[in-house]
Amino acid sequence: SALYGDLPFGIAAQNSNSLHAALDHFWNSRSALSTADEPRACDVTLALQSLITNNQLVIASGGGKYSLPGFYDPSFGVEKSLFVRYRFRGVQHEVIVKDDEALAIPMKAHSLGSQT
């Protein structure tokens, strides 16, 4: 699953392995985004799935991700991030990148480490 926009709760874009507690809080609070008067983030899961080639997803750094197919700018004028949670070879992975940062998945650095 993937969310893009003004991600709440002060989640900074960095290696997700140091963010486990914050991410749990984020997903528990995800319903707040869908019930807000003005959505601050959008679900881009299907849009990202359509960009996967040969089991990889690569998004170059540079301009805002709102220009990608299936994305839009849910919070104009506000700094945005992209949060992606995915499973690769039975292992849960999570990553957060700022709007202008590159994203490449799968990556071992995104692994939460437990196979399920």
Give the per-residue pLDDT at 62. 87
- Dump pLDDT digits (tens) for 61-103: 988 999 999 999 988 888 899 999 999 999 999 999 999 999 9
Read off the tokens for 14. 């960095």
CA–CA dist 46, 48 (Å, integer): 5
Q: Tell me the C-alpha to C-alpha distance, in Å, between residue 1 and each of 28, 44, 63, 75.
A: 14, 8, 22, 19
- Dump pLDDT digits (tens) for 14-42: 444 445 555 555 554 455 555 555 578 88
